[in-house]
């Protein structure tokens, strides 16, 4: 079992490095594939729990979002479509998505109900939107460096949390959701995330990765937020699995589970780092 986990982990890391270094388009396509697999895993888990998500709407939303990101990478958008990148565009997307779901519910009643629609919408927001933020971070100016911060924070929160919990853990954090996680491990993961973020900032400054120097306190703030959000992402996925009655979302990586099992923290971190970079670091 351990040998299988190690081999699949090494293979996954090599593939990950290759995709990240290959450029924006290849990276976007790679994340698109992961999102598709993750969405399938999510809907399958809901079906095992007896729900009936409107999968077609979720897949159409996935295709629309990533098509738009790819088009924005390679084509200059007409002025009439610029608004789609604004809050108005997000509003339009939500209007079309909800409108389609309501039409399906009314036309197909009682096959689908409001719970099925809500879970379908949750999947689009949780997976399509959150995964797309990984691509948005990579597409930022200097995103080829900032994208590593997303994955390093997830790794640090998980690794520091695991070893701190193993050595010092006594008090349960959320026994109903994840019985093995402890408050001590949570604090250790949080501290490790802050430390890793600051060290990344120091390295980025010394190596000249960033065109404009970013004060270290920004990396500390992102680490504080990341240490919390990484654990929220982990526990969120665990709560969904417990409700659905599944141990893992899938088995795409032998010994490691499915896409959502591996990226639960990453997809919660990516939006935070993207919006922080845009709003407070001026990375537009």
- Confidence at residue 93, expressed as pLDDT on a 0 to 100 scale: 86
φ, ψ of residue 78 in degrees (nearest 5): -60, 150
Q: Report residue 130: phi and psi, to 5°.
A: -65, -45
CA distances from 68 to 12, 75, 91 (A): 27, 10, 15
How large is the C-alpha radius of gyration of the chain?
Answer: 20
Q: What is the pTM of this model?
A: 0.92
- Written as one string, the DSSP assignment of 154-193 is HHHHHHHHHHHHHHH--SEEETTTEEEEEHHHHHHHHHHH
Q: Where are the domains of the chain?
A: 2-280
The tokens describing 13, both together, are 């890391």
Q: Is the peptide bond before 25 cis (omega within 30 degrees of 0)?
A: no
Judged by DSSP in three states, 86 sits in: coil
Residue numbers of the chain with a pLDDT score lower than 50: none
CA distance 214 to 282: 10
Token duo for residue 2: 């351990």
- In this prediction, residue 15 carries a pLDDT of 83
Cα–Cα distance for residue pair 218/282, rounded to 1 Å: 12
């Amino acid at each position: 079992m351990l040998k299988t986990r190690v081999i699949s982990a090494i293979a996954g890391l090599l593939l990950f490095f290759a995709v990240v270094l290959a450029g924006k388009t290849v990276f976007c396509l790679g994340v698109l594939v992961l999102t598709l697999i993750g969405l399938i895993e999510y809907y399958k888990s809901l079906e095992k729990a007896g729900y009936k998500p409107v999968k077609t709407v979720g897949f159409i939303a996935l295709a629309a979002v990533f098509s738009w990101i790819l088009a924005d990478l390679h084509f200059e958008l007409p002025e009439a479509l610029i608004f789609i990148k604004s809050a108005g565009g997000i509003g339009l997307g939500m209007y079309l998505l909800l409108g389609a779901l309501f039409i399906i519910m009314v036309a197909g009643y009682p096959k689908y109900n409001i719970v099925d629609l809500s879970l379908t919408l949750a999947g689009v927001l949780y997976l399509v939107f959150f995964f797309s933020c990984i691509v948005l971070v990579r597409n930022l100016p200097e995103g080829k460096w900032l994208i590593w911060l997303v994955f390093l924070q997830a790794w640090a929160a998980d690794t520091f949390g695991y070893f701190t919990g193993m050595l010092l853990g006594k008090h349960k954090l959320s026994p109903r959701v994840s019985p093995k996680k402890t408050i001590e491990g949570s604090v250790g993961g949080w501290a490790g995330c802050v430390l890793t973020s600051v060290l990344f900032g120091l390295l980025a400054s010394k190596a000249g990765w960033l065109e404009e120097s970013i004060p270290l306190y920004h990396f500390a703030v992102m680490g504080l937020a990341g240490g919390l959000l990484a654990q929220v992402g982990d526990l969120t996925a665990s709560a969904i699995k417990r409700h659905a009655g599944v141990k893992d979302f899938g088995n795409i990586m032998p010994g490691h589970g499915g896409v959502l099992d591996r990226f639960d923290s990453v997809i919660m971190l990516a939006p935070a780092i993207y919006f922080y970079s845009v709003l407070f670091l001026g990375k537009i």
